[in-house]
Structure 1
C-alpha cells in the first residue's frame, strides 16, 4: 500500500490522502461523486427557483392530477369502475396484473404514478439548466421513487397478499430462505444460485478449439473446423474486456461461434485476461497492441496469405475500429472487413451510461480504482442493474423474496454473473478519451503521436444496433455512417445489448431492419432509416453470414492446421483456455 501511495503521489495531481478518502467513501456509502451530485441538484434548484412560470405550471399540473384522481376515486366508490386516470409507461410492468385493478390497490398505484409524473414535470424543461444535470437529477429522483413503489411492499401489493393467503405464508418462507442464501453467497464470493448448472467448458463455451497463443493480456483460441471444406478467409472476434468472451459461445443452440464454424468459417477468438492489481498500469493502447494486433499476427501466420474479417463486440468493437483506422493510416491491409456488434464510435450521445460520466464523476471513479488497481466487474454489473432497477432489482425482489418464485437460471444469465475487472489506467483513459471528451470522432485520439482518423477506413463495415440497448443506444451506433467514408451495412434488431446480439435463427419473436449505404450516397438520418426500412422477421445472423460469405471466398479449401508450432504458435491447451476461468472473486472479497 505504501508503494502505491508513493507512486500515485509522484505521477498524479491528486494527493494520495484524497484518493484514499474517496476510495473508502465510495466502497462504503457513496458510489457517486458528491461533487457531481451537488452540482446537478444545485443547478436544478437554482434554475427552478428562477422561473415563476414553471412554478405556476407545476401547480396547475399538480392540481389537475389531484382533481383527476379525486374524480376517479368518487366514481370508483360509487361502483362505476372507470378507466384508470393514468397509465404506466410502456416499459413499466409492475401494475399489469388484474389484482391491481381492485380497490384500494388501484388507488395506490395511480397515486404513485401521478407522483412520478409530477416529479417528471418538475425536473424537465427548465430553462438554462445543463442537459446532463437535468438527466441526472431526473434519473436519481426516479430511482428514489421506485424504491417507494407500492409493488415493493407486502401490505400494498395485492399479488403478494393473495399468494401469502393462498400458501399460508410459505411464499415468504421461501423468499427469506432465498434472500439469506443470496447474501451468504455474495459474502463468500460465490456465484449466484443456479449458475452451478452452467460450467464453462462443460455446459458453456464447448465449441471444440485450441488456445494457440497467450500473452499477458489475452489468449487466442482457434476453433476446429466442422466442415470438410472451409472458406479461405478467417474470422477474428474481439469481445469487450468488460465481458467474458463466451457470450458468443454459450450453449450450442445459441453459439455464434458454432454457427460460423458449421458454415465453413475458420474462427479465432480473443479471450481477455481478468486483470488484478498487477495490471493497474496497462494502457488502452496495450489492448490494441497486445490484443488485436498480436491476434492478427498469429492469424496471419497460421493462415498465411489471407485477409481477415474483424468482428468486435461492444468495447471490443471500439478497440477494433481504432485498430482498423490506425492500420489504414500505415497501409496495413490485413483486414478484409469489419463487423461491429453494439459498438460506439461516436460517444456524444452514450445513453444512460452518460449519466455517470462528467469530470467530477470520472475523477472520483479514478480515485476508487486507484486504491485497488482496477475497477471491479461486480461494481460495473451493479451500475447496469441500477440503470434498469425496475426490471433488474425491484421486480426480482418482489418475484423471488415476496412471491417466493425462484428465478430460472439460463445460459445468458449465468454468463452475466461471471464478472470481469478493468485495469485502472486503461479504464481511466477510456472514460476520458472516449466518453468524456469524444476524442475519437473529434480527431484528437492519437497513437504514436499520430491522430486516429476514422475517415481513413476503407474496408466494408457491417454494424449491428439493438432497439432496447441502454449501453450502446442504436442511434449512436448508427453514427458509424457519419464518421466513416466507406460502405456501411447497418442492421437494427429487436432486443437489448446482449439478447439482440445473441439472436440465433429459429426465435420468431425477434425481427430486424437492414440497409446498405454506399460512400457516394447521401446520409440517411437514423429516424428515416427506422421509418423507411422494411422490418424482417427472425434473426439477423443469416443476413450477416450472407454478407460475410460474399467477401470470404468459396467453400473450397481444406481445413487449416491448428496453430503454427514451427512459427511460434503451438497448441497450448484445449479451449476454453485458462484466462476465461479467472473470476472477479478478489474484488468481491475486497469490497466486503
Structure 2
C-alpha cells in the first residue's frame, strides 16, 4: 500500500531525473523519462498523467482490498482428517499415513510452518499420494511450542526429539529407513543423517538452503538484523511470534501480496483455482512461533554468519559437515524458488559425495502442491525412495 500511494509523489522526481535507480534499470528509466517529457510538451498533458497515475493507483488498491475481503469470507475450510498418530513427545506427533506393509519414510518439515503443506487437501497431498504408491510416509508434526520446547535449541530438536522419532521408526521397521526434509527440515535431516548413519537408508533434501550468502548476502544479513530488535522480547516470551516471522518472509517480495490478492479478486470464488488459493493462503497464515534458541541459531547463525556453509554450525558440539554424509542422497532444487535461492540449495549436494540433483521448473511451495508437482517432484521422489537402500 505504501509503495502504491507513493506513486504520485514520485512523479516529480521521475520527471527531473533525480530518482536513484539500480544500474540494470537506469536505461529503461531514462527512456521512460524521455517519453514523458516528450508527451508533456503539450498543454495539459502533465495534469492528465497525474490523474492517470492516481486512477491506476486507486484501481490497484481496490483490487488488492477486494481480494483480501473475498479471501476472508471464502467458505473453504480444511477438513482433511489426520491419519493415526504413531508416537508423541511434548508438542510433537508422528503421523502415520500407512499402509502398514509399505516401506517407512520419515518426513521432516520446517519448524516455522505447519506440517500439513505436505497433506494440504485431498488432491494436493504428497503424503497420501506416496501412500497410494506402496510407501509408508511418516510425517513429523512439530506442533505449537509449549513450556518444554521454549527452552529448546536446534540441538534439542535434532539430537533429542528427532533422533527419538527416528528410533521409533527404525525399531518398528527393523532396518534403516530413508529420511526426507523440506526447506528448514532438510537442514535438520542432513544433521540427523550425520549423527545416525546406521539408522538412515537414504537422505532427501527438498528445497533445502545451505549457503545463505550464495545469491544475496545483503538480504540474508538484513534478515539477521531484522531479528535484533526482538532480542529483549525473546528473553521474556521464549519465542519469536508468528507475526514477526510473517513480516520477515514478506521482505523477500514486498509486492507479492498485492499481486496475488489482486489476481484472486478476478477469480470465480466457486472455482477450483480459488479454493486452492484459499487452502494455501490459510496454511501460510497458520504459522507457529519459533522458539528463542532456534531463532538465534537460524537467524543470527545461518542468515547472519552463514554458519552452515562456513562450517561453523554445531549440533551437540559436533560440526555438521556434509562432506561426511555417506548415505544415498537426492536433492530436489526448484528452479523458480524465491524463498530458498537455487544457488543456496545447490551448495549442499555439491559437497555430499555421490548426491543426485533434480531441478524441477517449480517454486518453493509449488514443488509440493502445484499442478506440476506430481510430474516434477512426486513421481521422481517415489521412484528414488523405492529404489534406494
| Range of TM-score over shorter length | 0.7 to 0.9
Structure 2 gaps of 5+ residues are: 1-20
Structure 1 pair 286–382 and aligned structure 2 pair: CA distance change class (3 A): same
2:120 aligned with 1:262:
no
Counterpart CA distance in 2 for 1:62 and 1:379 is 35
Q: TM-score, normalised by structure 2?
A: 0.79
Structure 1 pair 69–324 and aligned structure 2 pair: CA distance change class (3 A): same
Q: Which has the larger radius of gyration?
A: 1
Counterpart CA distance in 1 for 2:376 and 2:57 is 36
Aligned to 1:210: 84
Residue from 190, 197, 202 that aligns with 1:321:
190
Aligned to 1:312: 181
Structure 1 gaps of 5+ residues are: 1-53, 79-102, 110-148, 161-170, 183-191, 512-536, 553-592
Residue from 204, 214, 224 that aligns with 1:349:
214
Counterpart CA distance in 1 for 2:238 and 2:383 is 44
2:162 aligned with 1:295:
no
In the alignment, is the contact (CA less than 8 A) between 1:468 and 1:497 conserved in 2? yes
Aligned to 1:333: 198
Counterpart CA distance in 1 for 2:91 and 2:376 is 33
Aligned to 1:492: 359
Aligned to 2:9: none
Aligned to 2:368: 501
Aligned to 1:446: 314
SS at match of 2:135: coil
Matches within 5 A, 1:174-573: 175=66, 192-194=72-74, 197-199=76-78, 202=79, 204=80, 206=81, 209-225=83-99, 230=102, 233-276=103-146, 279-304=149-174, 306-327=175-196, 332-349=197-214, 351=216, 354=220, 356-358=222-224, 360-393=225-258, 396=261, 408-410=274-276, 411-484=279-352, 486-503=353-370, 507=371, 510=372, 538-551=375-388
Counterpart CA distance in 2 for 1:273 and 1:427 is 16
Structure 1 pair 244–361 and aligned structure 2 pair: CA distance change class (3 A): closer
Structure 1 pair 213–64 and aligned structure 2 pair: CA distance change class (3 A): closer
| CA-CA distance at 1:499 after TM superposition | 1.3
| CA-CA distance at 1:297 after TM superposition | 0.6
In the alignment, is the contact (CA less than 8 A) between 1:280 and 1:374 conserved in 2? yes
Structure 1 pair 409–74 and aligned structure 2 pair: CA distance change class (3 A): farther
Can you list the C-alpha shifts for 1:134-179, whole angstroms capped at 9, x where unaligned? xxxxxxxxxxxxxxx864325xx6x96xxxxxxxxxx99x959x75
SS at match of 1:153: helix
SS at match of 1:312: strand
| CA-CA distance at 1:250 after TM superposition | 1.7
Aligned to 1:582: none
Aligned to 2:16: none
Q: TM-score, normalised by structure 1?
A: 0.53
Can you list the C-alpha shifts for 1:487-534, whole angstroms capped at 9, x where unaligned? 22212223321112324xxx3xx48xxxxxxxxxxxxxxxxxxxxxxx
| CA-CA distance at 1:310 after TM superposition | 0.5
Aligned to 1:153: 58
SS at match of 1:466: coil
Can you list the C-alpha shifts for 1:6-42, whole angstroms capped at 9, x where unaligned? xxxxxxxxxxxxxxxxxxxxxxxxxxxxxxxxxxxxx
In the alignment, is the contact (CA less than 8 A) between 1:281 and 1:426 conserved in 2? no
In the alignment, is the contact (CA less than 8 A) between 1:245 and 1:270 conserved in 2? yes
SS at match of 1:269: strand
Can you list the C-alpha shifts for 1:541-589, whole angstroms capped at 9, x where unaligned? 212221222125xxxxxxxxxxxxxxxxxxxxxxxxxxxxxxxxxxxxx
Q: How many residues align?
A: 359
Structure 1 pair 453–404 and aligned structure 2 pair: CA distance change class (3 A): closer
Counterpart CA distance in 1 for 2:40 and 2:141 is 59
Aligned to 1:68: 35
Can you list the C-alpha shifts for 1:427-447, whole angstroms capped at 9, x where unaligned? 112222222222223222223
| Pairwise CA RMSD | 3.8
SS at match of 1:275: coil
Counterpart CA distance in 1 for 2:267 and 2:362 is 28
Counterpart CA distance in 2 for 1:399 and 1:266 is 36
In the alignment, is the contact (CA less than 8 A) between 1:270 and 1:291 conserved in 2? no
Counterpart CA distance in 2 for 1:318 and 1:279 is 19
| CA-CA distance at 1:368 after TM superposition | 3.8
Structure 1 pair 399–454 and aligned structure 2 pair: CA distance change class (3 A): closer
SS at match of 2:333: strand
SS at match of 1:432: helix
Can you list the C-alpha shifts for 1:96-138, whole angstroms capped at 9, x where unaligned? xxxxxxx9569956xxxxxxxxxxxxxxxxxxxxxxxxxxxxx
Structure 1 pair 453–278 and aligned structure 2 pair: CA distance change class (3 A): closer
In the alignment, is the contact (CA less than 8 A) between 1:213 and 1:219 conserved in 2? yes
